[in-house]
Amino acid sequence: MTPHDLAIALDPADRRPLYAQVEDAVAGRIARGELAAGTQLPPEGQLTEALGVSRTTIRQTFQNLVRRGLVEIRRGTGTFVAAPKITHELTALSGFVEDMEAQGKTATARVVGRAIVAASARVARQLGVRTGARVVRIQRVRLADGEPISFDDTYLPRELGEPIMADALETRPIFELLEQKYATPLVEAEYRMEAVAAEAEIARALGVLAGAALFVIERTSYAAGHRAVDYEKLYYRGDRVRFTTRPARQPVGIAASTSRKRR
C-alpha cells in the first residue's frame, strides 16, 4: 500500500493537531471496513513525505492507533491493521461457544488439565462445599478461529464434574453438557470482573507477554434453587476482547435508598 492508497486529505481549516487528523482519518477508514484486518500501512517515512507532516506527527499517530488496538506493529515487518476486538455481551449469562457463534466465529478448546483436587477455601465457598472437599478442576485454552482468546480454570462439584471429565471437552462446552446431557439447566450467575497483569503460566498459554493486561471474569453459575454448579476464572486477552452491557438508570431516590440499605 502506498500513502496514495490510504487516501488521507488534510484540511487546512481543521484546527485539531495534525497527528489527531491523520489518526482519525485512519481510524475512520478501519471503522468503515475500508481497511481490512491484516492490511499493511505505508512506512512512516513515506507517510511523512506524502502528507507533508513531521516524523514526530506520524509517530504520535501510530502510537495512538496502537494504543487503541486498531493497528499492530510486527517487528521487522511493518504496521498492520489489527483484527477487531471480539465483543461479548454481558446482558445474559452465556458461555464462550455461544458468544463466539454470535460473532460468526468457530470456537474450539485445548484441554490442558483435568483432575480431582481438594477445594481451596475460595473454591469451597463458591461451590458451597467444605474446604478440602474433592472437586473437579478442568483447565482449557479457548480459541476463536484458532486464535487463543481465554484461559478457563473451571471447578465443578464432584458428582457433576466426574462424568464431565470424561466428556469430549475439546468440542463440547461445559454449559451445554450441564444443560443437555446432565439435565442441569443454569438459571443465573454472579460475575466479578477485574483487570490484572498476566502471570507467566497463563501468558504462555495465551501467547502473550507476562504482565500483559488480562480481563478476568470470576463466575459462579447457579442451577435451580440457587445451587452452585460451576465456578470459573476466565482470563481473557485484553488485546482481543471487550465486553458490553446496557444498564438502565434507576430513579435517583431509589438508587440512593438501595445503596443505603446495602451499606
The residues binding a copy of itself (CB under 8 A) are 14-16, 20, 23-24, 27-28, 31, 67, 69, 85, 87, 90-94, 98, 101-104, 117-118, 120-122, 131-132, 179, 185-197, 199, 211-216, 236, 238, 241-250, 252, 255-256, 259, 262-263
Contacts for 178-187 with beta carbons within 8 Å, 24 or more apart? Answer: 178/223, 178/229, 178/230, 184/160, 184/223, 184/229, 185/223, 185/224, 186/93, 186/221, 186/222, 186/223, 186/229, 186/230, 187/222, 187/223, 187/224, 187/226
Residues paired with residue 29 on neighbouring β-strands, in sequence order: none
* CB within 8 Å of 136: residues ≥ 6 apart: 114, 115, 116, 117, 155, 156, 157, 158, 160, 161, 162, 164, 165
**Toward a copy of itself, which CB reaches closer, 51 or 215?**
215
Cβ 167 to a copy of itself shortest distance, Å: 18
**Toward a copy of itself, which CB reaches closer, 131 or 171?**
131
* CB within 8 Å of 262: residues ≥ 6 apart: none
Cβ 179 to a copy of itself shortest distance, Å: 6
**Toward a copy of itself, which CB reaches closer, 46 or 94?**
94
Side-chain-side CA neighbours of residue 198 (13 Å)? 24
Cβ 196 to a copy of itself shortest distance, Å: 5
**Toward a copy of itself, which CB reaches closer, 39 or 94?**
94
Cβ 73 to a copy of itself shortest distance, Å: 14
Cβ 211 to a copy of itself shortest distance, Å: 7
**Toward a copy of itself, which CB reaches closer, 2 or 262?**
262
